[in-house]
Amino acid sequence: MTNPNEMISSEFTGAAFGAYQTNHALNVLLNSMREIVLYFDRWGVIRHANARAYEWRKDGQLIGKTFVEIAPCWDDPAERQREIMQVYRTRRPQLESRERALEECGDCWFRVDKIPTTDECGKVDGVMVVISDITQSVRRELAIKESEARYRAYIANSPDAIWRYDICPPINTRLPIEQQVDLILKRAVLAECNEKLVRLYGVGSASHLIGLPIYHNGSPNLSADITDFVQNRYRLEDREYEHLDSSGQVMSLQSSAIGIVENGFLTRVWGTTRNITDKCRYLARMEYLANHDVLTGLPNRSVLYRTMNKALKERGDEQKMALLLIDLDRFKEINDTLGHLAGDKVLKQLGQRLQSMLNETKGLVVRLGGDEFAIFLPNLRNAQQAAILAHKILDSISLVFEVEGLRTEICASIGVAICPDQAQDVSAMMRFADVAMYRAKTCLQGVAVYDSAFDPHSPKRLELMGALGRSIRENQLILHFQPKIQLSSNKVYGFEALLRWNHPELGFIPPNDFIPIAEHSNLIYPMTLWVLENGIRHCKQWLQQGFHISMAMNLSARNLLDDRIALDLKRLLREYEVPGHLVELEITESTIMSDPSRAEAALARIHRLGVKLSVDDFGTGYSSLAYLKRLPVQTLKIDSSFVRSMLNDEQDEIIVNSTINLAHNLGLRVVAEGVESSAIYQKLVDLGCDEAQGFYMGRPLPAPEAERWLKESIWGLCET
Ligand code: C2E
Ligand code: MG
Ligand code: MG
């Protein structure tokens, strides 16, 4: 191996350098340098190289060679050699030239000084070339340039607006939050932004924005946002807000920001802003489509379920709700004859009609699909209100639809389920309303309120059906008697016989649970006959004891339409020798309305026996007073749901009052049912009501107790 020190002493022959030839100190100095030092003679041949040069060339031979020979991998080595000769000739040094070589390890960079050397006479005798390896710093510099370029390209091409606010002077992050917010508002100034922000704000160029204080950015909740930013350690993520663009259009923007804190001071804030207007519109549209029926614009099934679920969960103890399922009858015919486009138009118009029905009543109209609609009523005064609305809806549906110059009519069937009376959760409400709707359709009833009696899947119904037949044979039925009071005299004038079933295992079963079942089987006739016979028997019994009181009994729809009833009634009156005028039959309004012409004929037959007739549960059906006047009825019994709440509910009071007045004008007497307090009793007296019945005066009692009540009560007997 060549010893660089030896080489210096043996080969360093330049005259100027001669004086130092033996200068050991200079050798040490040159060899200790980190730079490569090469000394070229006037012929451009290396005469000296330091230790670093040998290290660089891996101890190869250097002395006597040209630059071209030792550095072939240098960029254009011949040119470099020429430069060395030029320095020699011109005597002018060439300093800090940056030169590149393609070494095995990749690109290497050097800073090269080419300095002419002179002898003691001042004559140039060679060129000293000092080479520093600057590969590392050049690579760093290139990397920085690269990342800078990448960053510029990213900012310029970003789909988001990118911006920087400088805080001048920086804000101490130990200050109280409100103070920091205040200072940010005062000191933050836009220092940098990309083209996107320029376009977002609709200005000509970035220069219109740079320098603007932060409060110019148009965010409506700037203070609150900055407070969140400070509280959240100088970060804000995906904050959404609305902004008016230059043309006054609302834009939805989303911003994120991050603060730079140096030495405990907030110096600047970098952030991005994205225009999410299209995304918001798209999401709003998607949400709309997910929740609405496109044809009618009405909410759809999932909205109904959600609304019902929420309302049922939050329902107050007294709150009643109803679900109406509406299904058009023979809608297919419209589609088939007028075409699907016309069918769609009918559905659209129907949607509007249904919606307008709810102007006064709070509720939700939805289209379930096809020709099925539903209405959810979350706040009912009483169960009857739902049935009344269902009838009104039916009327509105049956009005003519005009489609492309053609007039068409449609009918519908509506099923009603009531919460909490019948069902308390969404699926039960849906099922029950569906059962009722099917019932309305098959019986051509128009409207049907759910009843377990016509629900073929109700386990209760099946059980009761079996037991009901036995109940008559085994004497499980009894009658309870509730007094009716004449308001003008405050005296009893009669009883209403109310049926009770005392089941040996199930215990007491209310009439509303078993009578509908009897009505849908052949048991209703023998059951009613049993009531009529026992009612008339008790009437006779009390008549014999000197109590001249009337006996009211209830007839169900099927009884009224049964031709046998008038005949059996005639037979019983004769058999027990009870005058017809002491017997009164109560028929519900809906019974009469289910088949008005047959009801009219049946009522006439009963009337001819001298028996009185009254319309029960008046107000819950759908009859007009004027129509009832054509029938041979003498009395209206206002339904207890109106009477019970008439002191708290102004509308109910109006209904009671106007019913009394209209009935009187038509020559009918009025009985108020459900009188539970003296206040209601007094109010009815004031309104001029004729008679009253209710727990306040007397509850329904078994015959012996009713008899004792008759003898001992403060309410004496009416003079007849
Ligand atoms: P309805 O004919 O309207 O009878 C009045 C109902 O109201 C009775 O209920 C009675 O107990 C109740 N009531 C009377 N006063 C008050 C009061 O002040 N407050 C309250 N909350 N309720 C009062 P019930 O006995 O449970 O009968 C219910 C329904 O069952 C009757 O209503 C009637 O429609 C039917 N029903 C009862 N017995 C017979 C019958 O023999 N044949 C037929 N077809 N139906 C009957
Ligand atoms: Mg009754
Ligand atoms: Mg009633």
Rounded to an integer, what distance in angstroms lies between the CA atom of residue 272 and that of residue 239?
Answer: 10
Please work out whether the CB of residue 616 comes within 6 Å of at least one atom of ligand 1: yes
**Reported CATH class of domain 4-139:** alpha beta
Please work out whether the CB of residue 464 comes within 6 Å of at least one atom of ligand 1: no
Q: What is the pLDDT of residue 403?
A: 83
Q: What is the pLDDT of residue 22?
A: 55
Q: Ligand 2 being an ion, which residues bring their Cβ within 5 A of it?
A: 554, 586, 616
Top-confidence residue, 22 or 186: 186
Top-confidence residue, 456 or 349: 349
Please work out whether the CB of residue 511 comes within 6 Å of at least one atom of ligand 1: yes
Of the pLDDT bands very low, low, confident and very high (cuts 50, 70, 90), residue 10 is: very low
Task: Please name which of 579, 484, 565 lies closest in space to residue 536, comparing C-alpha atoms.
Answer: 579
User: What does 140-153 look like in DSSP terms, one character per residue?
Assistant: HHHHHHHHHHHHHH
Matching CATH topology for 4-139 and 481-712? no
Of the pLDDT bands very low, low, confident and very high (cuts 50, 70, 90), residue 594 is: low
Task: Among 468, 471, 498, 635, say which to mutate for ligand 1: greatest number of ligand atoms within 8 Å of CB.
Answer: 498
The ranges assigned to domains in the chain are 4-139, 158-280, 295-450, 481-712
How far from the centroid of its chain's Cα atoms is residue 92's Cα? 84
Mean local confidence (pLDDT), 603-609: 94
Q: How far is the CA of 498 from the centre of ligand 1 (A)?
A: 6
Q: What is the pLDDT of residue 499?
A: 95
Of the pLDDT bands very low, low, confident and very high (cuts 50, 70, 90), residue 7 is: very low
Residues 91-114 pLDDT 10s:
999 999 999 999 888 899 999 999
Q: Which atom of ligand 1 is nearest to the CA of 637?
A: 3
Q: What is the pLDDT of residue 3?
A: 42
Q: How far is the CA of 634 from the centre of ligand 2 (A)?
A: 14
Average model confidence (pLDDT) across the chain: 89
Mean local confidence (pLDDT), 692-716: 94
Protein residue whose Cα sits closest to atom 41 of ligand 1:
499
Domain 481-712 is classified in which CATH homologous superfamily?
EAL domain (3.20.20.450)
CA distances to 22, 294, 349, 356 from 342, rounded to whole Å, are: 116, 16, 11, 21
**Structure-token pair, residue 259:** 């603060």
Please work out whether the CB of residue 517 comes within 6 Å of at least one atom of ligand 1: no
Contact 641, 618 (CB under 8 A): no
Domain 158-280 is classified in which CATH homologous superfamily?
PAS domain (3.30.450.20)
Protein residue whose Cα sits closest to atom 4 of ligand 1:
498
**In the chain, how many H helices and how many E strands?**
28, 27
Q: What is the pLDDT of residue 1?
A: 38
Is a pLDDT exceeding 90 seen at residue 138? Answer: yes
Protein residue whose Cα sits closest to atom 27 of ligand 1:
511
Of the pLDDT bands very low, low, confident and very high (cuts 50, 70, 90), residue 13 is: very low
Is a pLDDT exceeding 70 seen at residue 352? Answer: yes
Q: Which atom of ligand 1 is nearest to the CA of 588?
A: 34
What ligand is nearest to the CA atom of residue 501?
Answer: 1
What ligand is nearest to the CA atom of residue 696?
Answer: 1
Amino acid at residue number 656? V
Please work out whether the CB of residue 638 comes within 6 Å of at least one atom of ligand 1: no
Please work out whether the CB of residue 619 comes within 6 Å of at least one atom of ligand 1: no
Residues 6+ apart with CB under 8 A from 560: 587, 591, 592, 599, 602, 603
386 burial via Cβ count (<10 Å: 0-12, 13-18, 19+): buried
Contact 377, 389 (CB under 8 A): yes
Residues 630-676 pLDDT 10s:
889 999 999 998 999 899 888 889 999 999 998 999 899 999 999 99
| Three-class DSSP labels, 305-363 | HHHHHHHHHCCCCCCEEEEEEEEEECHHHHHHHHCHHHHHHHHHHHHHHHHHHCCCCCC
Protein residue whose Cα sits closest to atom 21 of ligand 1:
674
Of 379-383, 591-595, 704-708, which gets the smallest average pLDDT? Answer: 591-595
Residues 287-329 pLDDT 10s:
999 999 999 999 999 999 999 999 999 998 889 999 999 999 8
Amino acid at residue number 442? T
pTM exceeds 0.75, yes or no:
no
Task: Please name which of 70, 83, 6 lies closest in space to residue 38, comparing C-alpha atoms.
Answer: 70
Rounded to an integer, what distance in angstroms lies between the CA atom of residue 158 and that of residue 146?
Answer: 18
Residues 404-425 pLDDT 10s:
787 888 889 999 999 998 888 9
Q: In the chain, helix, strand, coil percent, each to 5?
A: 45, 30, 30
Q: How far is the CA of 520 from the centre of ligand 2 (A)?
A: 19
Architecture of domain 295-450: 2-Layer Sandwich (3.30)
Please work out whether the CB of residue 513 comes within 6 Å of at least one atom of ligand 1: no
C-alpha angle with apex 16: 10 to 21, nearest 5 degrees?
A: 30
Is a pLDDT exceeding 80 seen at residue 235? Answer: yes
Residues 6+ apart with CB under 8 A from 427: none
